[in-house]
Chains A and B, each alone.
Chain A
Amino acid sequence: MTAACAARDVVAGLLAVEGLVAGTVPFSAVDGPGNRFVVFLQGCGFDCLVCHNPATIPAHPRGAVRTSVGAVVDLVARDAQFLTGVTVTGGEPTVQPEFLVALLEALAVDPRTAHLSRFVDSNGDTDADLWDRLAPVLDGVMLDLKGLDTERHIVLTGTDNYRVLGSLTRLVALHRLHEVRLLLVPGINDADDALTRTAHWLLSLDPRIRVRVNGFRHHGTRAVARDLRAVTDTDRERYRAVLTAAGVEDLTIT
């Protein structure tokens, strides 16, 4: 009796947690395995030159509305029969860690949504301990690696990559890394030797690591990124050749 009441209180507490949600998409074929409900959280600690979604960077944009975990779970539940899972992205979902944890826990305990897989799409710039907290209710993470080289990482994102590398290492250890995504910008972070070193480091974590290369495109970016060159098919062929030669077997290039 007391235990049941306590459990109800815990769930009620989860559902009441509020966060800044930039938007939701009920149907996506490009945010992880199968058909996914996507939750975009507001705010990101990086300030990427090449951000495809700059409106979601500010932590507290004017007019942003706080949303409860319960409201998001209800939205997911309504469409649950069509879904493979839920992906939380952003912005950067880990900048609202309490909301992120509460949302995944609530999705895991609600009988309407418990069968859905729970994925996070992250830049990895968070304390690795957050992944320990999430692991019991998390199926996989798609993690962006903007560069193995710290100097280049700072040029691209305004921030060093120490926490990103820590997140990657921890997620592999927790068996929660779904794939690592390399955002390659011609002339900035796509040199052959950089790709080879990146591949070797990733393979040292997991010899069967799944790698997805997202070649830079101008779509959605700010004016500052327009001077950068978008990838061509020739670039993509080179990426495939270099990464394959370095030993990456599970490779997707878009």
Chain B
Amino acid sequence: MSGVVAYRAVMETTVRVTEPLVVTGPPVVAERPGVMNGRARRQTTDTYRAEVLGCVTDPALTYRQRVQRLAALAEGALEPPAVSAACRAAQAAGVVHDMGEGPAPYRPRYVLPDYALALAGGAAHLELEPARDLDEALALLLAAYASVPSITGYPVYLGDLDTLLEPFVDDSVTDADLDRRLTLFWRLVDRTMPDAFVHADLGPDDGRVVRSLLRVDRRLRQVVPNLTLRVDPVRTPDALLREAVLTTCADGKPHYVNDPMMRADLGPDYGVVSCYNSLPRGGGAYTLSRLDLSASVRRAVPGPLAGRAGAAERVERWLTEVLPGDVALTAELMASRIRFLVEEARFFEHDRFVLDGLVRRDRFTAMFGFYGVAEAVAALLAPGAGAGVSACLGGDAFSRHGTRGTQRRYGLDADATALGQRIVAALADLVAATPMPYCEATGGHALLHAQSGIDTDLGVTAGARIPPGSEPPLYEHIRAVAPNHRHVPAGISDVMRFEPTVAVNPDAAVAVIRGAFAAGMRDVTFDVEGNGFVRITGYLVRDTDVAGVAAGARHSSTFLGAAALENQHLRDRVTKCAPQPPGASGR
């Protein structure tokens, strides 16, 4: 049995276990087999029992994964918060998607505690004393992590660790001491946390802690924690960026963010968590729902886009008559979930992080995700009217990436790329004008986020990314996607795959990072060929873990990554090597 077949077999088992039992109430679209799935609804006691039994006897799941899934199954027995029939229909059509968060939100999706407050002043309800030295600081953080609520059951945010720890590192701590302590800390984080959505932030300033963590990270080569380096054109020196690039070459981390752009949008107190989700620190995100732009176009083909209209007219109709409605339906789903969390589950009345002031409700927002820009563009530009769009979205042309088989591809054709940018800008305007309850932290509306896909997405490209395999050369790639970035304050990522030779000259990558930020990128993400790690959405998987996934995996993100690798053809990403001049191949 090949690895893939074996893996399939495991996934079949998993799907059977967590598949929605359906169907009373709204029709339910295909669900992910991930541990976060909670939309299973009870049809009969017998099948529900079979699901629970399947979970507790699934040989591919660890103890913790079973507990997590059992919680999802219990939650899944409930009905989701009420929404309109139109909103249910949009979910059934795959236009609006709840990310499998579960029907009864009882904790925010992403929580970003202000650990600095606890380190300085302690936390009464969490029973944490203020830290006086490095050991106490590390112990306090580990104790706090154990209690952080989140969608994954464990923290997605470990804090801006260098800023938090640097004050505790004085001359009495040697570099060797520091490396040793942080190695233990890093190991403990990896061994006790369930997935690669656990995220720590570094930078933008240089310091001993950031240098040590980059050294330790590339020596340990763990997928946990995920890492972000915040980069300021002035404050972040080349020497620090070089260290970070060497770590990226070794293990794919960190991911780089444009610190001034983030501060301008979110204020100085922000964090990057989970994949590359940027949010207010001391708060977080209640929920993340997402809008499939390609499905929005597809659903409109028999309706507003019907007839033999030309591409230009189709674009105008979709932008003015269809997209605003689908944005409103996505927002309706989000609002219903936020209200349940705040008003029914009353998270902000009992959680210890809230009681200790480490998170505050007025620092929370919601994430409005989108994906499928490339396929939406292809469908809108497809030659011919209705039938043409259907053909593009239906048959073989859509079987791999929805852009294959069309001439004017997003990222490669200037008009198609410009249309993609226009869609993102229009979407940003709509989301900013859509009120969202309890989102006063961000102007009373949700924050836009380029959602980078889940494992089961087929034929639709993450966020506003260019489909893997059809990315243009490096600078063209950056120029094609950079205009999208300013519209997406909650994070957007375009993955640049580099050759491993960049390790011998990290300054080359440093120049590219600085240039990309100057060109308007918010997030810069690399995937270095041949280092044993693959960046999936924003998280990483290790090749060796994927190879063994049929027998299970300690990190639940490995299951998701293995499926995404296959379904989203991530191994097809084009490597950014220098094109050879005619008749020349270097000296």
Q: With an 8 A cutoff between CB atoms, is A162 at the interface? A: no
Q: With an 8 A cutoff between CB atoms, is B578 at the interface? A: yes
Interface pair B508/A23, CB less than 8 Å apart: no
Interface pair A81/B515, CB less than 8 Å apart: yes
Q: With an 8 A cutoff between CB atoms, is B143 at the interface? A: no
Q: How far is A24 from B580 in the complex, measured between Cα atoms in Å?
A: 8
A 48-87 contacts with B by CB, 8 A: 52-53, 55-56, 61, 79, 81-84
The 0/1 profile, CB within 8 Å of B marked 1, for residues 152-183 of chain A is 00000000000000000000000000000000
B 495-516 contacts with A by CB, 8 A: 499, 501-502, 504-505, 507-512, 515-516
Query: Min CB distance, A85 to chain B, in Å?
Result: 9
Query: Min CB distance, A164 to chain B, in Å?
Result: 15
- Contact flag A29-B587 (CB < 8 Å), given A23-B581, A81-B519: no
Q: Which residues of A contact B395 (CB under 8 A)?
A: none
Interface pair A82/B515, CB less than 8 Å apart: yes
- Contact flag A84-B501 (CB < 8 Å), given A22-B584, A23-B584: no
Contact residue range for chain A? 20 to 34
Interface pair B587/A144, CB less than 8 Å apart: yes
Interface pair A83/B586, CB less than 8 Å apart: no
Interface pair B587/A121, CB less than 8 Å apart: yes
Q: With an 8 A cutoff between CB atoms, is B25 at the interface? A: no
Interface pair A25/B508, CB less than 8 Å apart: no
Q: With an 8 A cutoff between CB atoms, is A28 at the interface? A: yes
Q: How far is A81 from B518 in the complex, measured between Cα atoms in Å?
A: 7
Interface pair B505/A30, CB less than 8 Å apart: yes
Nearest residue (CB) in A for B518 is: A81
Q: Which residues of B contact A27 (CB under 8 A)?
A: 473-475, 508, 512, 576, 578
Interface pair B511/A25, CB less than 8 Å apart: no
- Contact flag A22-B587 (CB < 8 Å), given A27-B578, A35-B511: no
Q: With an 8 A cutoff between CB atoms, is A186 at the interface? A: no
Which of A56, A121, A144 contacts B583, CB < 8 Å?
Answer: A56
- Contact flag A26-B501 (CB < 8 Å), given A35-B507, A35-B511, A220-B585: no
Q: How far is A247 from B582 in the complex, measured between Cα atoms in Å?
A: 40
B 460-486 contacts with A by CB, 8 A: 473-475, 478
Query: Min CB distance, B238 to chain A, in Å?
Result: 9
The 0/1 profile, CB within 8 Å of B marked 1, for residues 80-119 of chain A is 0111100001110000000000000000000000000000
Query: Min CB distance, A60 to chain B, in Å?
Result: 13
Q: How far is A221 from B580 in the complex, measured between Cα atoms in Å?
A: 15
A 104-146 contacts with B by CB, 8 A: 121, 144
- Contact flag A53-B511 (CB < 8 Å), given A25-B579, A29-B501, A82-B478: no
Interface pair B505/A34, CB less than 8 Å apart: yes
Interface pair A82/B579, CB less than 8 Å apart: no
Which of A34, A40, A254 contacts B581, CB < 8 Å?
Answer: A40
A 1-54 contacts with B by CB, 8 A: 22-31, 33-36, 38, 40, 52-53
Q: With an 8 A cutoff between CB atoms, is A197 at the interface? A: no
Q: How far is A121 from B512 in the complex, measured between Cα atoms in Å?
A: 22
Interface pair A220/B582, CB less than 8 Å apart: no
- Contact flag A29-B585 (CB < 8 Å), given A35-B512, A81-B519, A82-B475: no
Most chain A Cβ neighbours within 10 Å, of B519, B579, B580, B581: B581
- Contact flag A22-B581 (CB < 8 Å), given A52-B587, A84-B508: yes
Q: Which residues of B contact A219 (CB under 8 A)?
A: 585
Q: How far is A91 from B501 in the complex, measured between Cα atoms in Å?
A: 23
Nearest residue (CB) in B for A79 is: B475
Interface pair A220/B586, CB less than 8 Å apart: yes
Q: How far is A52 from B580 in the complex, measured between Cα atoms in Å?
A: 13
B 303-332 contacts with A by CB, 8 A: none
Q: How far is A111 from B566 in the complex, measured between Cα atoms in Å?
A: 47
Q: How far is A82 from B516 in the complex, measured between Cα atoms in Å?
A: 7
Q: How far is A38 from B508 in the complex, measured between Cα atoms in Å?
A: 13
Interface pair A22/B582, CB less than 8 Å apart: yes
Q: How far is A34 from B578 in the complex, measured between Cα atoms in Å?
A: 14
Which of B504, B582, B584 contacts A29, CB < 8 Å?
Answer: B504
Most chain B Cβ neighbours within 10 Å, of A34, A61, A144, A219: A34
Q: How far is A30 from B581 in the complex, measured between Cα atoms in Å?
A: 15
Q: How far is A83 from B515 in the complex, measured between Cα atoms in Å?
A: 7
Q: How far is A40 from B505 in the complex, measured between Cα atoms in Å?
A: 21
- Contact flag A52-B516 (CB < 8 Å), given A82-B475, A84-B508: no
Q: Which residues of B contact A89 (CB under 8 A)?
A: 586-587
- Contact flag A34-B507 (CB < 8 Å), given A26-B475, A27-B474: yes
Q: Which residues of B contact A29 (CB under 8 A)?
A: 499, 501-502, 504-505, 508-509
Q: How far is A52 from B510 in the complex, measured between Cα atoms in Å?
A: 29
Question: 16 interchain pairs (CB within 8 A)?
Answer: A23-B581, A24-B581, A25-B578, A25-B579, A30-B505, A34-B510, A35-B510, A36-B508, A56-B584, A81-B518, A82-B519, A84-B508, A89-B587, A91-B584, A144-B587, A220-B585
B residues with a Cβ closer than 8 A to A are: 473-475, 478, 499, 501-502, 504-505, 507-512, 515-516, 518-519, 576, 578-587
Q: 13 additional contacts, CB 8 Å, given A23-B581, A26-B474, A81-B519?
A: A22-B583, A23-B582, A26-B475, A29-B504, A29-B509, A30-B501, A35-B510, A40-B584, A53-B583, A82-B519, A89-B586, A90-B587, A144-B587
